């Protein structure tokens, strides 16, 4: 808290904080208000007398109904959920084991291997999708969820590995040594001691991986083509923008409903997540 | 109950030796303390016994069985770590039971053993708590409890008291000693604190730069140090050293330097004889110096100027200047002395130590 005179508190605390919150939340507000606004208000020209973009007196659920009935939105949601969960599970599993190995086991080139994995994360997706498209075609995986379930880990595994590596390094190695003297094999020590302690780290890696795959756009756009195979971000933008016609209400309803699972995941794990970012185990 | 033997034990990282040619025989039920400054190889030695560090060459035997290649879990040892290494997500009970569970003890047996250990350590009320809800001393007890429930052949302690505050450390030291007397398990204890080493150890190993300097009972090490390092390391305040030149005059052997002229007699003189005319290091412990009285012969004392007076209650420590040397003398608490006083200090000739100036070995 800012000490001193009241004006200082206002200038350095309340005003900046409020403007930050307003700036941050405005897009969400816009999304919500556009979703529930009837078309008549949405397409009213800006110079009309009744023009009022920030509020509506006639809220409606029409757009949501249209989205759910006129488009394949629920299929897209299901696709996205399956793809995001599978990709996250694969990446977490690999990242956990790789992170553990790189931070704990002594083997030649452990350090440079860690760096190499990180470098693969730095290769831009916009370049990587070209060779990947070739691979997907050769394996005949195009236009199926497998195209994404198997390609998302290319950027999620390095990410999870690095996050977990850092977290494992913060856990005193004596805990594991003690477990091994106590009678646990390395595998058991990992399973019963290290992984339970690393839960906050695992959760935050999971949340990040899930969000990244949920929101991913480029691979989904390139590798999937049939409407019933699409994910939410691609489905909403490709099916609700037709030429130069934007179905704003349905678009925003799609964005709103599409962000609910992610928001849910975040709020559910937020405490663990914060714990993993702000600190770890004390000896 | 077990005997632990280290034979020609070496640990090197490329060219650098962390532990060099260590030979030790730790008897059954013995409390052996490894002591030395940081980086002397004591912890590495302990970790090799535990199986946490690979052995470069040499052998470790527990009860005549070579354990070099055994996994830590198969060595039947228990270790207490400096940071306690309690499992933070488990209750005190589960922390103590973990080793037994891993070894597939049945539930009733586990409960009984944990209860027993908790009683010995007086922490029956803490069993349901998590480690973060415990104070430093309590955590230390849990770590000890976790070691004793397993009834291992050997206890290994890696500076277990160094994270505690001074008062608690003294208290836990006494408890550790009692515990060892009660259980009688062979123990290897690593510390950098010479007081801990002297008070706890049945025998003490002093190490430096990976080499064993001397092994012996605490008082043996204190009274008859094998070299200058051991002499200086054990004892607080530490031994006073002065470089002196020895020479034969009037049929007696004298040790001399600016401000010091002392007659060496008896056996010491016999051993020192062949160093006549050479430089040697003379050592005298602070408690072997006292303020000279009429009865003290002139050739066993020197003049000194008091620089600092530290009144500790049970004794007074005087930091004095003797010629170019500074020395510490521990004198009776009732002596009235002020800073800058000049006085004459006498020494106990039996308690003089001489060390070779080059090899630093005792003469």
Strand partners, B204: B33, B216
Residue whose C-alpha is closest to residue B92's, from B17, B144, B45, B52: B144
Chain A interface test: which of B62, B85, B133 (most A C-beta within 10 Å): B85
In whole numbers, what is the pLDDT of chain A averaged over residues? 88
CA dihedral B265, B268, B270, B275 (to 10 degrees): -110
B135 touches chain A (CB under 8 A): no
Distance from B76 to chain A by nearest Cα, in Å?
8
Please give the distance of CA A263 from its chain centroid, rounded to a whole number: 10
Q: What residue segments make up the domains of chain B, in order of their start?
A: 4-233, 240-356
Distance from B99 to chain A by nearest Cα, in Å?
4
Among the partner-chain residues B51, B71, B81, the one whose CB lies closest to the CB of A178 is: B81
Q: With cut-offs at 50, 70 and 90, classify the pLDDT of residue A280.
A: very low
pLDDT at A237 exceeding the cut of 60: yes
DSSP letters for A213-271: HHH--HHHHHH--SGGG--HHHHHHHHSEETTEE-HHHHHHHHHHHHHHHHHHHHHHHH
pLDDT at A273 exceeding the cut of 70: no
ipTM for the whole complex? 0.83
Among the partner-chain residues B73, B83, B132, the one whose CB lies closest to the CB of A172 is: B83
User: Where do the DSSP E strands lie in chain B?
Assistant: 4-13, 16-26, 31-35, 57-62, 65-66, 77-80, 154-158, 186-191, 203-208, 211-216, 240-249, 252-257, 260-264, 279-284, 289-291, 301-311, 316-322, 325-331, 342-347, 353-356
**Mind listing the pLDDT tens digit for each residue in B102-120?**
999 999 999 999 999 998 8
B240-249/B16-26 β-pairing: unpaired
Among the partner-chain residues A172, A181, A197, the one whose CB lies closest to the CB of B73 is: A181
Domains of chain A, start order: 6-60 (no CATH), 71-278 (1.10.3720.10)
Distance CA B175, CA B154 (A): 18
CATH number for the segment(s) B240-356: 2.40.50.140
Distance CA B126, CA B133 (A): 9
Q: What is the reported pLDDT for B97?
A: 93
Domain B4-233 and domain B240-356, same fold? Reply is: no
**Mind listing the pLDDT tens digit for each residue in B6-40?**
999 999 888 888 988 999 999 999 999 999 998 88
**Mind listing the pLDDT tens digit for each residue in B295-321?**
888 888 888 999 999 998 889 999 999
Do A181 and B50 lie within an 8 Å CB cutoff?
yes
**Chain A / chain B CB contacts < 8 angstroms:** 66
**CB burial readout A79-95, b (16+ within 10 A) else e:** bbeebbbbbbebbbebb
Distance from B22 to chain A by nearest Cα, in Å?
23
Give the list of residues 6+ apart from residue A210 with CB closer than 8 angstroms, or none: A84, A85, A88, A262, A265
pTM for this prediction: 0.81
Do A197 and B88 lie within an 8 Å CB cutoff?
yes
Distance CA A209, CA A230 (A): 19
Q: What is the reported pLDDT for A1?
A: 60
pLDDT at A2 exceeding the cut of 70: no
B149 touches chain A (CB under 8 A): no
The region of weakest confidence among A77-81, A203-207, A213-217, A261-265 is: A261-265
From the options 3.40.140.10, 3.30.360.10, 3.30.565.10, 3.40.50.300, give the CATH code of B4-233.
3.40.50.300
pLDDT at B216 exceeding the cut of 90: yes
Among the partner-chain residues A172, A183, A188, the one whose CB lies closest to the CB of B85 is: A172
How many other CB atoms are there within 10 angstroms of residue B277's CB atom? Answer: 9
């Amino acid at each position: 808290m800012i000490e001193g005179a009241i004006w200082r508190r206002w200038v350095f605390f309340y005003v900046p904080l409020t403007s930050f919150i307003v700036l941050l939340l405005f897009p969400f507000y816009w999304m919500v208000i556009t979703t529930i606004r009837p078309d008549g208000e949405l397409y009213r020209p800006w110079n009309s007398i009744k023009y009022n973009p920030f509020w509506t007196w006639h809220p409606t659920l029409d757009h949501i109904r249209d989205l759910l009935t006129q488009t394949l939105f629920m299929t897209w949601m299901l696709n996205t959920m399956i793809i995001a969960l599978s990709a996250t599970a694969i990446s977490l599993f690999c990242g956990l084991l790789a992170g553990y190995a790189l931070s704990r086991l002594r083997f030649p080139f452990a350090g440079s291997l860690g760096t190499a994995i990180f470098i693969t994360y730095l290769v831009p997706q916009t370049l990587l999708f070209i060779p990947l498209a070739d691979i997907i075609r050769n394996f005949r995986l195009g236009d199926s969820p497998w195209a994404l379930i198997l390609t998302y880990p290319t950027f999620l595994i390095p990410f999870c590995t690095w996050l977990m590596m850092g977290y494992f390094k913060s856990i005193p190695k004596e805990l594991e040594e003690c477990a091994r003297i106590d009678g646990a094999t390395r595998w058991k020590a990992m399973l019963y001691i290290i992984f339970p302690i690393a839960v906050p780290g695992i959760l935050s890696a999971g949340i990040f991986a899930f969000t990244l795959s949920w929101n991913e756009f480029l691979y989904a756009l390139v590798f999937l083509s049939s409407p019933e195979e699409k994910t939410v971000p691609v489905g909403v933008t490709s099916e609700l923008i037709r030429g130069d016609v934007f179905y704003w209400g349905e678009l925003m309803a799609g964005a709103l409903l599409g962000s609910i699972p992610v928001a849910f995941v975040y709020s559910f794990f937020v405490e663990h997540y914060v714990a993993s970012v702000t600190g770890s185990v004390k000896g | 109950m077990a005997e632990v033997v280290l034979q020609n034990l070496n640990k090197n990282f490329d060219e650098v030796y962390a532990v060099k040619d260590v030979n030790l025989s730790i008897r059954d039920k013995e409390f052996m303390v490894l002591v030395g400054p940081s980086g002397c190889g004591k912890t590495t030695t302990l970790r090799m016994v535990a199986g946490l560090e690979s052995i470069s060459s040499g052998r470790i035997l527990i009860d005549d069985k070579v354990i070099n290649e055994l996994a830590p879990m198969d060595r039947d040892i228990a270790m207490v770590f400096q940071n306690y290494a309690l499992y933070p997500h488990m209750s005190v009970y589960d922390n103590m039971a973990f080793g037994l569970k891993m070894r597939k003890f049945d539930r009733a047996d586990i409960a009984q053993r944990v209860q027993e250990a908790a009683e010995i350590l007086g922490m029956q009320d803490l069993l349901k708590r998590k480690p973060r809800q415990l104070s430093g001393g309590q955590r230390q007890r849990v770590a000890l409890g976790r070691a004793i429930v397993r009834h291992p052949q050997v206890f290994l302690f890696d500076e277990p008291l160094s994270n505690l505050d001074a008062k608690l450390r003294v208290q836990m030291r006494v408890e550790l000693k009692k515990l060892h007397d009660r259980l009688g398990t062979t123990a290897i204890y690593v510390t950098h604190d010479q007081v801990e080493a002297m008070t706890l150890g049945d025998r003490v190993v002093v190490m430096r730069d990976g080499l064993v300097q001397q092994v012996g009972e605490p008082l043996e090490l204190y009274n008859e140090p094998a070299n200058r390092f051991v002499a200086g390391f054990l004892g607080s305040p530490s031994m006073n050293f002065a470089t002196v030149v020895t020479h034969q005059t009037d049929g007696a052997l004298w040790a001399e330097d600016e401000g010091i002229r002392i007659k060496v007699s008896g056996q010491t003189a016999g051993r020192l004889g062949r160093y006549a005319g050479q430089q040697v290091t003379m050592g005298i412990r602070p408690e072997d110096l006292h303020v000279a009285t009429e009865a003290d012969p002139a050739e066993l004392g020197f003049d000194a100027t008091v620089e600092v007076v530290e009144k500790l209650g049970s004794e007074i420590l005087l930091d004095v200047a003797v010629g170019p040397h500074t020395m510490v003398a521990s004198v009776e608490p009732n002596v009235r002395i002020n800073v800058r006083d000049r006085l004459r200090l006498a020494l106990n000739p039996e308690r003089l130590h001489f060390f070779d100036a080059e090899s630093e070995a005792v003469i």
